């Protein structure tokens, strides 16, 4: 059973594509006339020129909006597609879930005629820069340590890649891990946590002490005192990276 058949049931509610991040992804896709989205989930960030989505979880496929590109249930490691099937292939916030990264990246390169675009994060930057995991939820950081893909390894597997930092806006509409960096109360909401695999897979029992500390610091104003500098920022770099490579 695909992991997102369990943790993905409310994905479409909290993970709405952010227009500013979409613009970055679409710019990275360049002038590709057709695009395949691997690990496509509910279809976030698919440009209209998307011809196929590849996604293992039926629960995620079922949340794709009407009119989305057709979806095939398959994994990145074994794409049911011919060589050079589309100008560009994208894989967004998915490589950390793959069971065989090298096989999956090899498949993206085989299927892309011209360009591969991957969105992921640099775990070293994330750990240092994101207050939630640094100060409250080290268990979640430890979980991510076990699966995060080092960007230099990813770039090497891609045969070289341009790395572009993606700064996260303070009102990001896509509720992934660090989306609520300036809206700390959001992490106390179980539905928000359910949409963040780092938290959903670490589990509420392990997170409970850190969440209680966060709730306390928010109630007493300690969080705001400690993070006053953040409240003045519109966007921050917590490690999200686009890797763009031409074949």
Ligand X SMILES: C[S@@+](CC[C@H](N)C(=O)[O-])C[C@H]1O[C@@H](n2cnc3c(N)ncnc32)[C@H](O)[C@@H]1O
Question: Which of 57/223 has CB closer to ligand X?
Answer: 57
Question: Which of 143/223 has CB closer to ligand X?
Answer: 143
In whole angstroms, how close is the CB of 16 to ligand X at the nearest point? 9
Question: Which of 118/141 has CB closer to ligand X?
Answer: 118
- For residue 38, give Cα distances in angstroms to 21, 56, 119, 195: 18, 9, 11, 19
Q: Interface with ligand X includes 89 (CB under 6 A)?
A: no
Question: Residue 180: is it exposed, middle or buried by C-beta count within 10 angstroms (0-12/13-18/19+)?
Answer: buried
Question: Residue 66: is it exposed, middle or buried by C-beta count within 10 angstroms (0-12/13-18/19+)?
Answer: exposed
| Footprint on residues 189-208 left by ligand X (CB under 6 A) | 197
Question: Which of 79/214 has CB closer to ligand X?
Answer: 79
| Footprint on residues 7-46 left by ligand X (CB under 6 A) | 15, 38-41, 44-45
Among 26, 97, 182, 193, binds ligand X (CB under 6 A): 97
Q: Interface with ligand X includes 149 (CB under 6 A)?
A: no
d(CA 54, CA 17) in angstroms, rounded, equals 18
Q: Would you say 197 and 97 are in contact if contact means Cβ atoms under 8 Å apart?
A: yes
Q: Interface with ligand X includes 94 (CB under 6 A)?
A: yes
Among 29, 52, 56, 130, binds ligand X (CB under 6 A): 56
Among 35, 75, 81, 149, binds ligand X (CB under 6 A): 75
Among 81, 92, 111, 238, binds ligand X (CB under 6 A): 92
- For residue 72, give Cα distances in angstroms to 56, 61, 78, 202, 219: 8, 9, 12, 29, 47
In whole angstroms, how close is the CB of 162 to ligand X at the nearest point? 20
Contact residues toward ligand X (CB under 6 A) are: 2, 4, 15, 38-41, 44-45, 55-57, 60, 75-77, 92-94, 97-99, 197
């Amino acid at each position: 059973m695909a992991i997102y058949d369990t943790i993905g049931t409310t994905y479409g509610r909290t993970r709405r594509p952010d227009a500013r991040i979409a613009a970055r992804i679409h710019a990275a896709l360049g002038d590709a006339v057709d695009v395949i989205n691997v690990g496509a989930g509910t279809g976030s960030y698919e440009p209209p020129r998307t011809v196929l989505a590849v996604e293992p979880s039926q629960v995620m496929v079922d949340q794709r909006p009407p009119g989305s590109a057709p979806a095939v249930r398959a994994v990145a490691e074994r794409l049911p597609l011919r060589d050079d099937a589309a100008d560009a292939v994208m894989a967004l916030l998915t490589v950390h879930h793959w069971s065989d990264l090298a096989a999956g990246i090899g498949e993206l390169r085989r299927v892309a005629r011209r360009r591969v675009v991957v969105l992921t994060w640099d775990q070293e930057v994330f750990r240092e820069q994101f207050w939630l995991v640094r100060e409250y939820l080290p268990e979640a950081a430890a979980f991510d340590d076990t699966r995060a893909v080092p960007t230099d390894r990813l770039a090497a597997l891609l045969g070289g890649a341009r790395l572009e930092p993606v700064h996260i806006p303070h009102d990001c509409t896509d509720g992934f891990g660090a989306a609520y960096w300036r809206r700390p109360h959001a992490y106390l909401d179980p539905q928000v946590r359910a949409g963040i695999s780092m938290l959903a897979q670490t589990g509420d029992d392990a997170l409970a002490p850190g969440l209680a500390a966060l709730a306390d610091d928010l109630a007493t104003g300690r969080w705001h005192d400690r993070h006053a500098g953040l409240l003045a920022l519109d966007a921050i770099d917590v490690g999200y990276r686009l890797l763009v490579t031409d074949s």
